Each structure stands twice: as structure tokens, then as C-alpha cells.
Amino acid sequence: DAGVIQSPRHEVTEMGQEVTLRCKPISGHDYLFWYRQTMMRGLELLIYFNNNVPIDDSGMPEDRFSAKMPNASFSTLKIQPSEPRDSAVYFCASSPVGGPYEQYFGPGTRLTVT
Amino acid sequence: GENVEQHPSTLSVQEGDSAVIKCTYSDSASNYFPWYKQELGKRPQLIIDIRSNVGEKKDQRIAVTLNKTAKHFSLHITETQPEDSAVYFCAASSTGGFKTIFGAGTRLFVKA
């Protein structure tokens, strides 16, 4: 298995633009998590899904952020419009059913909003 | 809400010495406590975990202890090596929702 796949690995965009981050979880994992990591705030859970259904989105900072999981092998995190304070590394992670168990993190997307 | 506090934020040790990182959690329903290591520019990766029915777990130079009564858990690294230098995160989650709360992280420096 290739592990959790995220794209793009780096994204540089201008303030006000829409940004879409993508994630493919490990096959067979029923849980998918989106995190944001910054020096100031550490590793923050934004939202997580179980069987493609959002379970807890209380970490989503504001309405500019949205996440979807249309099927078991794909999820997106969208920021519209983007702001400089959204600059961070965004990680996607997946976990198998029956846990809680280890979360397998993707390589992350480094987002820079200028 | 749920919270995980982690101390210290930075830890510097001499190669061969031991390192201890401590965490406390607030949600009494938490029953799974993983520790992740994140090297510079890399993703967090699990190094050891413990469940609430166990008080201690060891894997070579790494051990974790859990005190459910006090809501404390700790990571112990013995015989530290330069390659142990990284940021270490503790976390807590529960079976009820799988929501994982991470500590703020400890940056460990191992001096050769």
C-alpha cells in the first residue's frame, strides 16, 4: 500500500483565491482526519469522517473552510477565500475501524497564502 | 472541552542520557494514548501507544506509563541517540468518538 496520499505537496496562492487540498486514505481505513499544523497552534484537528460521513467539524476555523468525502477513497479540504493566516501544513490521516488505533499521516500539503 | 497538556516544550539532553516527557488529559473517557514522533519536514509517525487497561508498555529504549487516576501519561526514552532528536507529540482519544486531541509537542535535542 502506498500509504496516505496528499496533493499538492506545496501550494502557493494569493489571498482571496480558492484552495483545494486532496487526500486519498489507505484502502480499508474507515476514518479520515484533517489536521492543520502551525508553529503557534501546533497540530489541530479540523474535521474527521467515519465511513465518508463527517462526525466532528468543531475544529473547522470558520465558514471559509469546508471538507467533503464523496467516497471511501477521496476527500477534499477547501478554503474559499484564502487568507494569509491560513498558511500552514495541512495533514490528512486515516485509521482503521474498530479502534481507536494509530493514525497514518500523509506527507502533508504546505500552503502559503500571500 | 477536551485538552491535553504536554511538558516540557523543549528538552535538551546529552547523548546516552534519558529523556522524559509528560502529558495530562482532561477527558475521563479517554482510553487510547499514542505518542508520535515528527522529524523536521516529515509527517508525524507513531512510536508507541498505550490503552487504558495497561499501566506501562515498553519497546526497546522507549516506554510509556499511564496513571488513569491522575490522568497522567509519560514517555521515557533511555540511552538517547542523536537520531532521537525530533518533536514528540502525545495524544488522547476515546472509543466513543475517535476524536484525537494532541499535546502541543516537545522538541527534543540530543547532543552528541
Q: What is the pLDDT of residues A21-31, one digit of tens each?
A: 999 999 999 99
A55 inside 8 A of chain B by CB: yes
- For residue A12, the number of C-alpha atoms closer than 13 Å in the C-beta half-sphere is 1
Q: Which of A15, A71, A60 is nearest to A36 (CA)?
A: A60
- Cβ–Cβ of B34/A102 closer than 8 Å? yes
Q: Which of A81, A50, A76 is nearest to A64 (CA)?
A: A81
- Vertex A5: Cα angle to A24 and A36 (nearest 5): 90
Chain A residues lying within 8 Å of B100, measured CB to CB: 33, 45, 100, 103
User: What are phi and psi for residue B22, nearest 5 degrees?
Assistant: -120, 145
A49 inside 8 A of chain B by CB: no
- Cβ–Cβ of A45/B99 closer than 8 Å? yes
Of B34, B49, B102, the CB nearest to A43: B102
The distance of B104 to chain A (nearest Cα, Å) reads 5
State the pLDDT at residue A12: 97
Instruction: Tell me whether the omega of the peptide bond preceding residue A8 falls within 30 degrees of 0, making it cis.
Output: yes
Phi/psi zone of residue A51: left (φ > 0), alpha (ψ -120 to 50 degrees), beta?
left
- Cβ–Cβ of B49/A105 closer than 8 Å? no
- pLDDT per position as a tens digit, B51-98: 888 899 999 999 999 999 999 999 999 999 999 999 999 999 886 657
Which of B43, B45, B93, B107 has the highest number of chain A CBs within 10 A, making it the mutation to test binding with A? Answer: B43
A100 inside 8 A of chain B by CB: yes
- pLDDT per position as a tens digit, A37-89: 998 888 999 999 999 999 989 899 889 999 999 999 999 999 999 999 999 99
Neighbouring residues of A58: CB distance < 8 A, sequence distance ≥ 6: none
